[in-house]
Structure 1
Amino acid sequence: MNWIILILAGVMEILMVTALKKADSFKNKKWTIIWFILSMMSLFLLSVAIKTIPLGTAYGVWTGIGAMGSVIVGMVFYHEKVSLLKIVFVTCIIISIAGLKIV
Protein backbone atom coordinates (compact mmCIF):
# COMPACT_ATOMS: atom_id res chain seq x y z
CA MET A 1 0.00 0.00 0.00
CA ASN A 2 2.82 2.45 0.83
CA TRP A 3 4.24 2.03 -2.68
CA ILE A 4 0.91 3.23 -4.08
CA ILE A 5 1.03 6.16 -1.65
CA LEU A 6 4.59 6.92 -2.81
CA ILE A 7 3.52 6.86 -6.47
CA LEU A 8 0.64 9.22 -5.61
CA ALA A 9 3.15 11.50 -3.87
CA GLY A 10 5.19 11.51 -7.10
CA VAL A 11 2.11 12.36 -9.14
CA MET A 12 1.37 15.23 -6.74
CA GLU A 13 4.96 16.37 -7.34
CA ILE A 14 4.35 16.47 -11.12
CA LEU A 15 1.11 18.42 -10.62
CA MET A 16 2.85 20.73 -8.15
CA VAL A 17 5.61 21.61 -10.61
CA THR A 18 3.01 22.20 -13.32
CA ALA A 19 1.08 24.51 -10.97
CA LEU A 20 4.35 26.28 -10.16
CA LYS A 21 4.79 27.10 -13.85
CA LYS A 22 1.21 28.37 -14.01
CA ALA A 23 1.74 30.44 -10.84
CA ASP A 24 4.14 32.63 -12.87
CA SER A 25 6.64 33.39 -10.07
CA PHE A 26 3.72 33.48 -7.61
CA LYS A 27 2.04 36.38 -9.44
CA ASN A 28 -1.07 34.32 -10.19
CA LYS A 29 -2.75 33.86 -6.80
CA LYS A 30 -5.08 31.05 -7.88
CA TRP A 31 -2.22 28.88 -9.16
CA THR A 32 -0.04 29.82 -6.18
CA ILE A 33 -2.71 28.44 -3.83
CA ILE A 34 -3.03 25.31 -5.97
CA TRP A 35 0.77 24.94 -5.92
CA PHE A 36 0.82 25.22 -2.11
CA ILE A 37 -1.93 22.63 -1.64
CA LEU A 38 -0.26 20.18 -4.04
CA SER A 39 3.10 20.71 -2.32
CA MET A 40 1.62 19.89 1.06
CA MET A 41 -0.21 16.86 -0.32
CA SER A 42 2.97 15.57 -1.96
CA LEU A 43 5.06 16.00 1.18
CA PHE A 44 2.36 14.48 3.38
CA LEU A 45 2.10 11.39 1.17
CA LEU A 46 5.89 11.09 1.10
CA SER A 47 5.96 11.27 4.90
CA VAL A 48 3.43 8.43 5.10
CA ALA A 49 5.38 6.30 2.61
CA ILE A 50 8.71 6.63 4.45
CA LYS A 51 7.22 4.94 7.49
CA THR A 52 7.78 1.57 5.80
CA ILE A 53 9.87 2.30 2.69
CA PRO A 54 13.55 3.11 3.30
CA LEU A 55 14.17 6.88 3.19
CA GLY A 56 16.75 6.86 0.38
CA THR A 57 14.60 4.59 -1.78
CA ALA A 58 11.42 6.58 -1.18
CA TYR A 59 13.10 9.92 -1.83
CA GLY A 60 14.79 8.61 -4.98
CA VAL A 61 11.53 7.25 -6.35
CA TRP A 62 9.60 10.41 -5.39
CA THR A 63 12.07 12.77 -7.06
CA GLY A 64 12.45 10.44 -10.03
CA ILE A 65 8.72 10.36 -10.66
CA GLY A 66 8.58 14.14 -10.30
CA ALA A 67 11.52 14.72 -12.65
CA MET A 68 10.36 12.21 -15.24
CA GLY A 69 6.78 13.45 -15.18
CA SER A 70 7.83 17.09 -15.37
CA VAL A 71 9.95 16.45 -18.45
CA ILE A 72 7.06 14.63 -20.11
CA VAL A 73 4.54 17.35 -19.17
CA GLY A 74 6.93 19.98 -20.52
CA MET A 75 7.30 18.20 -23.84
CA VAL A 76 3.61 17.32 -24.26
CA PHE A 77 1.83 20.40 -22.91
CA TYR A 78 4.40 23.19 -23.12
CA HIS A 79 5.99 22.22 -26.42
CA GLU A 80 9.48 21.98 -24.94
CA LYS A 81 12.09 20.53 -27.22
CA VAL A 82 11.86 16.77 -27.69
CA SER A 83 15.17 15.09 -28.35
CA LEU A 84 16.47 11.57 -28.43
CA LEU A 85 18.76 12.31 -25.47
CA LYS A 86 15.84 13.55 -23.35
CA ILE A 87 13.94 10.35 -24.10
CA VAL A 88 17.01 8.23 -23.30
CA PHE A 89 17.56 9.98 -19.96
CA VAL A 90 13.88 9.83 -18.98
CA THR A 91 14.03 6.12 -19.77
CA CYS A 92 17.07 5.86 -17.46
CA ILE A 93 15.02 7.47 -14.68
CA ILE A 94 12.21 4.96 -15.24
CA ILE A 95 14.69 2.06 -15.14
CA SER A 96 16.28 3.49 -11.98
CA ILE A 97 12.90 3.80 -10.25
CA ALA A 98 12.08 0.21 -11.17
CA GLY A 99 15.52 -0.86 -9.90
CA LEU A 100 14.96 0.86 -6.56
CA LYS A 101 11.60 -0.89 -6.23
CA ILE A 102 13.20 -4.28 -6.99
CA VAL A 103 16.00 -3.90 -4.44
Structure 2
Amino acid sequence: MNWIFLLIGGLFETGFAISLGKAQHASGKEMWMWLLSFIICVSISMLLLFKAMGGENAIPVGTAYAVWGAIGAIGTVIMGIILFKEPITFWRLFFLSTLVISIVGLQIVSSNVPAE
Protein backbone atom coordinates (compact mmCIF):
# COMPACT_ATOMS: atom_id res chain seq x y z
CA MET A 1 0.00 0.00 0.00
CA ASN A 2 2.91 2.35 0.74
CA TRP A 3 4.07 2.21 -2.89
CA ILE A 4 0.57 3.20 -3.99
CA PHE A 5 0.67 6.18 -1.60
CA LEU A 6 4.04 7.13 -3.06
CA LEU A 7 2.86 6.83 -6.67
CA ILE A 8 -0.24 8.94 -6.05
CA GLY A 9 1.80 11.45 -4.05
CA GLY A 10 4.19 11.77 -6.99
CA LEU A 11 1.27 12.45 -9.30
CA PHE A 12 0.08 15.22 -6.98
CA GLU A 13 3.63 16.60 -7.10
CA THR A 14 3.16 16.87 -10.86
CA GLY A 15 -0.11 18.65 -10.12
CA PHE A 16 1.52 21.27 -7.94
CA ALA A 17 4.29 21.96 -10.46
CA ILE A 18 1.80 22.33 -13.31
CA SER A 19 -0.40 24.55 -11.12
CA LEU A 20 2.53 26.91 -10.62
CA GLY A 21 3.23 26.95 -14.35
CA LYS A 22 -0.40 27.71 -15.14
CA ALA A 23 -0.53 30.43 -12.44
CA GLN A 24 2.41 32.18 -14.11
CA HIS A 25 0.41 32.44 -17.34
CA ALA A 26 -2.82 33.58 -15.67
CA SER A 27 -4.05 36.71 -13.94
CA GLY A 28 -6.83 37.75 -11.63
CA LYS A 29 -9.22 35.11 -10.34
CA GLU A 30 -7.76 32.41 -12.63
CA MET A 31 -4.28 32.91 -11.12
CA TRP A 32 -5.69 32.56 -7.61
CA MET A 33 -7.51 29.36 -8.59
CA TRP A 34 -4.24 27.89 -9.87
CA LEU A 35 -2.49 28.94 -6.64
CA LEU A 36 -5.27 27.25 -4.65
CA SER A 37 -4.76 24.15 -6.79
CA PHE A 38 -1.04 24.35 -5.93
CA ILE A 39 -1.75 24.48 -2.19
CA ILE A 40 -4.16 21.53 -2.37
CA CYS A 41 -1.81 19.42 -4.52
CA VAL A 42 1.28 20.13 -2.41
CA SER A 43 -0.63 19.30 0.79
CA ILE A 44 -1.93 15.99 -0.55
CA SER A 45 1.44 15.13 -2.08
CA MET A 46 3.32 15.71 1.19
CA LEU A 47 0.72 13.80 3.21
CA LEU A 48 1.01 10.78 0.90
CA LEU A 49 4.83 10.94 1.00
CA PHE A 50 4.59 10.98 4.80
CA LYS A 51 2.24 7.97 4.80
CA ALA A 52 4.49 6.03 2.40
CA MET A 53 7.44 6.41 4.78
CA GLY A 54 5.54 5.11 7.81
CA GLY A 55 3.57 2.12 8.95
CA GLU A 56 4.13 -1.58 8.66
CA ASN A 57 5.78 -1.65 5.21
CA ALA A 58 7.54 1.70 5.43
CA ILE A 59 9.61 2.74 2.44
CA PRO A 60 13.06 4.02 3.51
CA VAL A 61 13.20 7.82 3.55
CA GLY A 62 15.93 8.14 0.92
CA THR A 63 14.20 5.79 -1.48
CA ALA A 64 10.76 7.28 -0.89
CA TYR A 65 11.93 10.84 -1.47
CA ALA A 66 13.93 9.93 -4.59
CA VAL A 67 11.07 7.97 -6.14
CA TRP A 68 8.47 10.61 -5.18
CA GLY A 69 10.60 13.36 -6.71
CA ALA A 70 11.28 11.35 -9.86
CA ILE A 71 7.60 10.56 -10.39
CA GLY A 72 6.85 14.26 -10.06
CA ALA A 73 9.67 15.20 -12.42
CA ILE A 74 8.62 12.68 -15.06
CA GLY A 75 4.99 13.73 -14.83
CA THR A 76 5.93 17.40 -15.01
CA VAL A 77 8.07 16.91 -18.12
CA ILE A 78 5.30 14.95 -19.85
CA MET A 79 2.63 17.47 -18.88
CA GLY A 80 4.94 20.33 -19.91
CA ILE A 81 5.17 18.78 -23.37
CA ILE A 82 1.39 18.38 -23.55
CA LEU A 83 0.19 21.61 -21.89
CA PHE A 84 3.01 24.07 -22.50
CA LYS A 85 4.21 22.76 -25.87
CA GLU A 86 7.73 22.22 -24.51
CA PRO A 87 10.14 20.65 -27.01
CA ILE A 88 10.44 16.90 -27.46
CA THR A 89 14.07 16.10 -28.13
CA PHE A 90 16.05 12.89 -28.19
CA TRP A 91 18.08 13.90 -25.14
CA ARG A 92 15.04 14.87 -23.07
CA LEU A 93 13.44 11.51 -23.79
CA PHE A 94 16.72 9.66 -23.25
CA PHE A 95 17.29 11.15 -19.80
CA LEU A 96 13.63 10.78 -18.91
CA SER A 97 13.89 7.06 -19.70
CA THR A 98 17.02 6.74 -17.51
CA LEU A 99 15.02 8.30 -14.69
CA VAL A 100 12.27 5.70 -15.16
CA ILE A 101 14.86 2.90 -15.10
CA SER A 102 16.31 4.35 -11.89
CA ILE A 103 12.90 4.43 -10.21
CA VAL A 104 12.28 0.79 -11.08
CA GLY A 105 15.75 -0.10 -9.82
CA LEU A 106 15.18 1.69 -6.51
CA GLN A 107 11.89 -0.11 -6.04
CA ILE A 108 13.55 -3.48 -6.69
CA VAL A 109 16.46 -2.94 -4.31
CA SER A 110 14.24 -1.33 -1.65
CA SER A 111 12.11 -4.46 -1.42
CA ASN A 112 15.27 -6.25 -0.21
CA VAL A 113 16.11 -3.70 2.51
CA PRO A 114 15.37 -5.05 5.99
CA ALA A 115 12.97 -2.96 8.09
CA GLU A 116 14.33 -1.24 11.17
| TM-score, length-scaled by structure 1 | 0.95
In structure 2, list runs of 5 or more residues that go unmatched. Answer: 110-116
Alignment correspondent of 1:3: 3
Name the residue aligned to 2:114.
none
Instruction: Indicate yes or no: 2:64 matched with 1:58.
Output: yes
CA–CA distance in structure 2, aligned partners of residues 18 and 24 of structure 1: 10
Tell me how far apart the structure 2 counterparts of residues 37 and 26 of structure 1 sit (CA, whole Å). 18
Q: Aligned Cα RMSD in Å?
A: 1.4
Matches within 5 A, 1:1-103: 1-24=1-24, 28-51=31-54, 52-103=58-109
The answer for unaligned runs of 5 or more in structure 1 is none
Name the CA distance, whole Å, in 1 between partners of 2:96 and 2:104: 13
CA distance 1:25–1:47, shift in 2 (3 Å): farther
Contact 1:19–1:31 (8 Å) recurs in 2? yes
CA shift digits 1:11-36 (9 cap, x unpaired): 00011111111122895111111100
Q: How many residues are matched?
A: 103
Q: What TM-score comes out, normalization by structure 2 length? A: 0.85
* Residue deviations 1:47-102 (CA, integer Å, cap 9, x gap): 00011000000000000001111111111221101100000000001000000000
Moved >6 Å (runs of 4+):
none
